[in-house]
């Protein structure tokens, strides 16, 4: 829907209800992958090539990331495979695949050829596939029907639309890793069980999108403030105990400024889990250099004693330098985290990441 606002066009994106039933058995349990093979009616988050009149348009996709841990201090610094806590520069992940489009139809197939777990944080990230221990896996493989901007019907291996951060690809993260509340709190349904998610999201003024990357300065929407908001509800049928919860997220973008926030709550075995993360950022050099900060808090068992080692506060500060075409980027980020068990000791690490995408 389009209308006039201050002599310029403004677009109202109507909220879309996203419904996903993810049965994580069969191939999903074998690979430990975040997406599960499931039918879904989901929000339009597919980035697809423009279809051509002479046949389907096919675009190659590539993601290569390398990390270097330059600082690691604190109780969460166990020795690595080579007996050190600073392995130098190493290949973090490599993915390759294809996007295809023909009329209202879209398809995507992305395979992670190799990957290595983040060395700075000892806990594995199931969303990034770290439970698979580097085995080759399909991160996305689906066919979608997209007759309009507000409706997409997709079938295959998809990202679960639970909150904002969980939908962002590793190549689009503003800091090298997701906040701990995102990676540790949402239910683990990969080995067995099922997950049902309902999501409502809206962009009431101007396009924002899932990936929190600002539009380039030459974009007509660059000088307009834009917001998005979303709420998610989920129910996980898991072995031994079920889990349900709610989440809310929001984004604000305007010129060089971008800020995101997310709040998650869930309940399992009579215990409440609660956490939030906030990420403000600003481009100090237009289109090229962005500074991003993060504040996060997570309580694995709200009000329970003794507290969990995962509880506590965290903060991060990072910088990302983008190439002229934004295909290559160099990130540097430092993370500080203080747990509630070892409250007098904090873990600190710094990572440099190089990313190349197609």
* pLDDT digits 0-9 by tens, 230-243: 999 988 887 767 88
Tracing tokens 């677009």 back to the chain, one arrives at 11
Tokens read off for 95: 């993915």
355 touches 65 (CB < 8 A): yes
CA 238 – CA 188 distance, rounded (Å): 8
Per-residue pLDDT, 356: 95
pLDDT one-digit tens code per residue, 51-100: 556 678 999 999 999 988 887 776 555 444 444 455 577 888 899 999 99
Residue segments in the chain with a per-residue pLDDT below the cut of 70:
1-54, 74-87, 118-134, 186-192, 212-213, 240, 303-310, 339-345
Phi, psi of 130 (to 5 degrees): -70, -20
Q: How far is CA 15 from CA 86, 198, 231, 318, 334, in A?
A: 46, 12, 10, 32, 36
180-208: burial string, b at 16+ Cβ within 10 Å, e else: bbbbbbbbbbbeebbbbbebebbbebbeb
CA angle 332, 334, 339 (to 5 degrees): 155
Per-residue pLDDT, 265: 93
One of 2.40.160, 1.10.10, 2.60.40, 2.60.120 is the CATH number of 2-357, namely: 2.40.160
Pairing of strands 8-11, 151-158: unpaired
* Other residues' Cβ atoms within 10 Å of the Cβ of residue 220: 10
* Other residues' Cβ atoms within 10 Å of the Cβ of residue 313: 15
DSSP bridge partners of 137: 112
Tokens read off for 353: 């990441």
Per-residue pLDDT, 226: 94
Q: Is 293 exposed, middle or buried (0-12, 13-18, 19+ CB in 10 A)?
A: middle
CA 55 – CA 73 distance, rounded (Å): 55
125 touches 167 (CB < 8 A): no
Per-residue pLDDT, 302: 77
Global pTM value: 0.76
Closest CA to 59 of 47, 72, 45: 47
Among the residues of 142-250, which ranges form H helices?
180-185
Per-residue pLDDT, 119: 59
Q: How far apart are the first and last CA of the chain?
A: 31
CA 298 – CA 301 distance, rounded (Å): 9
């Amino acid at each position: 829907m389009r209308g006039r606002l201050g002599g310029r066009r403004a677009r109202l994106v109507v909220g879309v209800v996203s419904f996903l039933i993810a049965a994580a058995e069969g191939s999903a349990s074998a690979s430990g992958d975040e997406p599960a093979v499931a039918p879904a009616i989901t929000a339009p988050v597919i980035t697809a090539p423009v279809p051509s009149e002479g046949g389907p348009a096919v675009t190659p996709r590539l993601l290569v990331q390398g990390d270097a841990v330059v600082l690691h201090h604190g109780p969460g610094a166990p020795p690595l495979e080579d007996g050190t806590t600073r392995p130098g520069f190493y290949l973090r992940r490599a993915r390759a695949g294809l996007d295809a489009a023909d009329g209202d139809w879209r398809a995507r197939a992305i395979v992670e050829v190799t990957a290595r777990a983040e060395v700075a944080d000892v806990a594995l990230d199931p969303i990034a596939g770290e439970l698979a221990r580097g085995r080759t896996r399909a991160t996305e493989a689906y066919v979608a029907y997209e007759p309009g901007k507000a409706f997409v019907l997709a079938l295959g291996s998809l990202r679960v639309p639970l909150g904002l951060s969980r939908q962002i690809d590793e190549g689009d993260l503003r800091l090298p890793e997701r906040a701990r509340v995102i990676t540790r709190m949402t239910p683990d349904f990969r080995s067995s069980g099922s997950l049902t998610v309902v999501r409502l999201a809206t962009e009431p003024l101007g396009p924002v999108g899932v990936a929190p990357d600002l539009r380039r300065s030459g974009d007509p929407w660059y000088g307009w403030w834009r917001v998005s908001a979303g709420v998610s509800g989920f129910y996980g049928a898991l072995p031994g105990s079920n889990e349900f919860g709610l989440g809310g997220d929001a984004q604000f973008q305007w010129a060089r400024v971008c800020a995101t926030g997310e709040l998650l709550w869930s309940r399992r075995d009579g215990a409440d889990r609660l956490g939030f993360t906030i990420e403000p950022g600003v481009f100090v050099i237009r289109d090229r250099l962005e500074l991003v900060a993060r504040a996060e808090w997570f309580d694995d068992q709200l009000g329970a004693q003794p507290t969990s080692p995962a509880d506590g506060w965290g903060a991060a500060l990072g910088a990302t330098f983008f190439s002229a075409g934004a295909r290559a980027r160099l990130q540097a980020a430092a993370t500080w985290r203080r747990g509630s068990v070892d409250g007098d000791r904090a873990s600190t690490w710094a990572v440099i990441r190089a990313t190349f995408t197609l």
